[in-house]
Amino acid sequence: MSTLEIAKNPTGDAICFETDPSRYRHMKLEIDGPIARIKLDVQENEGLRPGYELKLNSYDLSVDIELADAVNRLRFEHPEVGAVVIASAREGVFSAGANIFMLGSSTHAFKVNFCKFTNETRLAIEDATENSGQVYVAAINGTASGGGYELPLACKEIYLVDDRKSAVALPEVPYLGVLAGTGGLTRLADKRKIRRDRADICATLAEGIKGKRAVEWGLVDAVIPSSRFEAEVDSRARRIAGTGHADRRGIALEPLDPEVSADGVRYRHVRLALEPHSRVARLEVCVPDSLPRVPEDPASAGAGWFPLRAFREIDDALLRLRFNHPEIGLVLITTRGRIENLLDLDNQLVQHRNHWFVNEVVQHMKRVLKRLDVTAKSFFSVIEAGSCFAGSLFELAIASDRAYMLDADGVAVALSEMNTGPLPMGNGLTRLQSRFLGAPDQIARIPRGQALQASDAQQHGLVTAAIDGLDWEDEIRLAVEERASLSPDALTGLESNLRFAGPETMETKIFGRLSAWQNWIFQRPNAVGPRGALTTYGQPQGAEFDWRRT
């Protein structure tokens, strides 16, 4: 069985984003008390598709899916871990980064979505360090190049072997005519605060920087001789981890096992319906009629607990939409259930937030909503009879580009404390704060914990439009048809500009620059034309550039 379980189905070759350590092909996950080790051991012939070999621990999406799973699984299944060491299982090489021949043979949409996914994985590493007490340490026991260095840049501490040949490098500009696509340049400047001129040299020096110079410039935290490398990294990791989090007992993440058909994907709580002829999908979240109370030991609720299970399903659906259904341009979000059930659940999440398991569930919800924020699809929320846009699920409505609400008896929305802090966007603000950036006092006037009818929701600025029953179907149909008729390229730019009002952060810079730079550079002849740098890499003839600046 392959890592990704790529199976033929009526919708084409679909990528599955579920895996677990028993199916890893490219890395080893080891648990040693309070220490976890992720060892890269990429198998050359086990890539996502034929046509390239993953030499020198270079990676494609199949590798990063395993890494993303390991990072998330450590938080839920091994919460006792206090430090995570990322290393290479191979002597003399850490990672050569994203496989160049994979990039050269991929569609433009795949390349950009690949970079986006790897960015999200690295941000999850930083989030685990900050919010889960699992500090990531990079042990670079050989050259780390391109994405192979960007992965250590996501770690809290970076240690490089001092063997006179191992270096760290970001060679995308000189080698490929593109950029370090998974946040490398932004992390040099914003996270490690490397001086601008030194960062400029690092990003244009193909062979990279090694030894004491790498330490002096801040590219790594220390260099360690080969004879002491493993022992000193282990000692440092143990000092960081201490006794770990011995009071935490993890839970097993159950497989999602959705039903996949030509018409969509069906999970336990989520339905993804596809309408490729109209370029529209419908994403529905269904809240059970009864939700159990948080038990005395919250972790005993397990992986089937609604907020964890449902948001894992939403996450999987978003990834499938990105990679398997690029023709879908608009996603209509609907919900089903009782508002009071969601409000009661949210109160429990807030009350038990200090418990490690509840905290991890909330952190996971936050990351899934962030993934929605940066997904290159239009999102319209449709609030109608039977909807349950309340509290944490109301985040789906205010994360959407528009929210339409039926003005009829029994149709309501509601806010909870989950809307006012626990689920921030990448800009550090809540979605309410981002929505009311010009009128921050408005937020305090919106009632919490009570159902708001359409007129009240519109008065408080929570929905785009409240529409009466006579006009409902026609208004929604016209809005959908209009959106689906617009340029997908223009809409991606429009949405990226409008979704992140307010302060700039390292995270918003990474995704903003990814959308602007990579969407542009990955299509330019200097990179992907017949004589572009990415096209001619590894061939006798070099790249030919159009030297005009634009």
One DSSP character per residue, 209-260 reads EEHHHHHHTTSSSEEEEGGGHHHHHHHHHHHHHTT--TT-----------EE
What is the per-residue pLDDT across 94-150, written as a single tens digit (0 to 9) for each?
999 999 999 989 999 999 999 999 999 999 999 999 999 999 999 999 999 999 999
In this structure, of 7-11, 39-43, 48-52, 219-223, the range with the lowest mean pLDDT score is 7-11
What is the per-residue pLDDT across 389-423, written as a single tens digit (0 to 9) for each?
999 999 999 999 999 999 999 999 999 999 999 99
Residue 162 falls inside a structural domain: yes
> Whole-structure pTM over 0.85, yes or no?
yes
Among residues 96, 126, 95, 240, the alpha carbon closest in space to that of 190 is found at 126
Both 397 and 456 in one domain: the answer is yes
Residue 550 falls inside a structural domain: no
Both 93 and 171 in one domain: the answer is yes
Residue 161 falls inside a structural domain: yes
What is the per-residue pLDDT across 67-95, written as a single tens digit (0 to 9) for each?
999 999 999 999 999 999 999 999 899 99
E strands along 402-489, which residues? 402-407, 412-413, 452-453, 465-468
Q: What is the pLDDT of residue 519?
A: 75
Residue 323 falls inside a structural domain: yes
State how far the alpha carbon of 550 is from the alpha carbons of 495, 520, 521, 524, in Å: 24, 11, 11, 11
Asked if residues 375 and 336 have their Cβ atoms less than 8 Å apart, the reply is: no
Asked if residues 63 and 39 have their Cβ atoms less than 8 Å apart, the reply is: no
Residue 192 falls inside a structural domain: yes
Domain final position from 482, 498, 514:
498
Phi, psi of 538, rounded to the nearest 5 degrees: 85, 0
Q: How many domains does the chain have?
A: 2
Both 185 and 155 in one domain: the answer is yes
Both 272 and 206 in one domain: the answer is no
CATH number where 310 lies: 3.90.226.10
Q: What is the DSSP string of 169-211?
A: E--HHHHHSS--TTTHHHIIIIIS---HHHHHHHTT-TT-EEH
Indicate whether 238 pLDDT > 90: yes
Both 363 and 223 in one domain: the answer is no
- List the Cα angle 538/544/547 in 5-degree steps: 140
Task: Please report which confidence band the pLDDT of residue 12 belongs to, taking 50, 70 and 90 as the band edges.
Answer: very low
CA 343 vs. chain centroid, Å, equals 27
Both 77 and 156 in one domain: the answer is yes
Residue range(s) defining the domain that contains residue 292: 260-498
Residue 532 falls inside a structural domain: no
Catalytic (active-site) positions: 150, 172
Both 194 and 267 in one domain: the answer is no
Both 266 and 236 in one domain: the answer is no
Residue 539 falls inside a structural domain: no
Both 438 and 353 in one domain: the answer is yes
Both 317 and 237 in one domain: the answer is no
Both 223 and 288 in one domain: the answer is no
Both 395 and 475 in one domain: the answer is yes
Asked if residues 19 and 32 have their Cβ atoms less than 8 Å apart, the reply is: no
